[in-house]
Chain A
Amino acid sequence: MAERNEVSRPVITKKLDEFFSGLAKAFRFVKRFFQEVWFPPYEIKEILRQSYEIGYRSLPLISLTGFIIGIVFTNQSRPSLAEFGATSWLPALISIAVVRALGPLVTALIASGKVGSSIGAEIGSMNVTEQIDAMEVSAINPFKYLVITRTLAATFMIPILVMYTDFVALMGSFLSVNVNELVSMSTFFVQVFEAISFLDIFSSVIKSLIFGFTIGIVGCYKGYNSSRGTEGVGQAANSAVVMSMFLIFVEELLIMQIVNAIRYA
């Protein structure tokens, strides 16, 4: 009888069941993070090690991408502004675009590809090879050692990386403006800082913290709940990237609406 019920169950119901039970599981995972993060042991050494892995090791990729984005965005914007004879507005335009949206978004997307997949694969592999079980039977809390450390490291390193990306992108933009419009560095940066407000910087930092948390927790969640077997490791890494990128875009949209509401209130 039970088997007949199983067979006759519509696929859509099954999928919805899976979706909502997955959502509940993810919610419990995030809840556990906020329940356990306040209590010792704090695993400072592991947080610093992860911060180094996430922050320092991402620098070459972030530097290159940020610099190129600065140059490309400036070069692409120039013709439109030139039509109105407004190329002198380039530094202001670039700074607003980079600080408000491009810097946080590009950094978060690169980090979700590099950091999120690496966290997902590492924890997934530890799950497959019973290293997480080995921690549990040694009376060590693997959630604290693996999940909280990595999530905190990502949460605090992404804003630093974002600030760095902003700076590198502006330097790229300056190079282009300097070569084409013969603008000095001091003039360029005076215009840059005149255009951006405290709200821009504050919202950028808050946004980056949220992006960092998302990348860390999604990578950990996918790795921690990976299915056993080598295929599960690959799937964990892949779905960590896909899921965190999706969430980053949704968060960007929501935060942008909130910040705009504050700005124009």
Chain B
Amino acid sequence: MHNEQNLVVEIKDLVKSFGDNHVLKGVDLNLYKGENLVVLGKSGSGKSVLIKLMVGLLKQDEGLIKIFGIDTAGLKLKDLNKLRLRIGFSFQASALYDSMTVRENLEFPLVRNTKNLTRKEIDTKVEELLDAVALPNTINQMPSELSGGQKKRIGIARTLILNPEIMLYDEPTAGLDPVTCIEINNLINEVRERFKTSSIVITHDLTCAKQTGDRMAVLIEGQFNSVGTFEKVFEEATDQQVKSFYDYNFIR
């Protein structure tokens, strides 16, 4: 499964600093087709920076990011936008547009990126996605009327409306209660099955990591300390920082 042909994201020697704060110090990472890769790390360890670099919201200082074999460095905006359409980005705080209803939030990227859609086609697509995230009744609600978990689901639905091949989840369970966390974790797995996506899940929640991830990558001090299955990374961990991360999450 993990061969060159199935490689959708390839990151090599990625370096990113903000002034004197060296966030990423030579990161290597591969994402293969159909897998859910979880990137774990403490707050401020550069997890979100990593995925923002992938979609061009930030520019790397050094290193290579190849998505579907395309080197993102130096891409023209038009080409970058073409690539962005193949990547879904679910934001930590959902980033729903305040002034729009749920329907308008979902329609917005669809209408602007797809020509000649009829009203009926747009409605069908929106309803299909709301069904997929189990929130069909919220269609005419404003974001301010939704709970945190509902906002996350709508954010994911809005991302999925463009049929992305890669999903990037930035802290999908942050700020949610344990029951809603499990619902979101299940949704991440359902999205993979139903929409055939490959995903990178950024989190510091080990329950989320265990439930959603095929592989884990632990980001410590700007580099991936260990990469592998949950069992390999945590249960056989010898590194003190990785062990303490596990101990804190599961109160061993």
Contacts and interface: CB of A to CB of B under 8 A. Distances in A.
**Do A and B originate from a single complex?**
yes
Interface of A: 41, 122, 125-126, 129-131, 133-134, 136-140
Interface stretch (B93-101, B185-193, B223-231): B93-101
Interface of B: 52, 55-57, 81-82, 84-85, 87, 89, 91-93, 95-99, 108-109, 112-113, 158, 162
Contacts of B112: 41, 138-140
B93 A140 contact: no
Contact of A126 (B55, B82, B98): B98
Contacts of A140: 108-109, 112-113
B93 A130 contact: yes
Given A136-B57, A137-B57, A131 B98 contact: yes
A136 B96 CA distance: 13
Contact of B91 (A41, A122, A125, A130): A130
Contacts of B56: 136
Contacts of B95: 129-131, 133-134
Contacts of B98: 125-126, 129, 131
8 contacts: A125-B98, A126-B97, A133-B52, A137-B84, A137-B89, A138-B108, A138-B112, A139-B81
Query: Of residues B56, B89, B92, which shows the largest number of chain A Cβ atoms within 10 Å of its Cβ?
Result: B89
B84 A139 contact: yes
Contacts of A134: 89, 91, 95, 97, 158
Contacts of B158: 134, 138
B240 to A, nearest CB: 31
A130 B218 CA distance: 25
A129 to B, nearest CB: 6
Given A130-B91, A133-B91, A138 B97 contact: no
A137 B55 contact: yes
Nearest to B100: A131
B190 to A, nearest CB: 22
Given A122-B99, A130-B95, A134-B95, 18 more contacts: A41-B112, A129-B98, A130-B91, A130-B92, A131-B96, A131-B97, A131-B98, A133-B52, A133-B57, A134-B89, A136-B55, A136-B57, A136-B84, A137-B55, A138-B85, A138-B112, A139-B85, A139-B112
Contacts of A138: 84-85, 108-109, 112-113, 158, 162
A260 B17 CA distance: 55
B93 A129 contact: yes
A122 B82 CA distance: 28
A72 B109 CA distance: 51
A125 to B, nearest CB: 7
A119 to B, nearest CB: 13
A140 B95 CA distance: 14
A110 to B, nearest CB: 23
Contacts of B89: 134, 137
B85 to A, nearest CB: 5
B4 to A, nearest CB: 27
A133 B170 CA distance: 13
Contacts of A126: 97-98
A131 B91 CA distance: 9
Contacts of B108: 138, 140
A108 B82 CA distance: 41
Query: Of residues A129, A137, A138, which shows the largest number of chain B Cβ atoms within 10 Å of its Cβ?
Result: A137
B23 to A, nearest CB: 16
The 9 closest A-B pairs by CB, nearest first: A139-B81, A138-B109, A134-B95, A130-B95, A137-B89, A139-B84, A137-B55, A130-B91, A131-B95
A140 B52 CA distance: 16
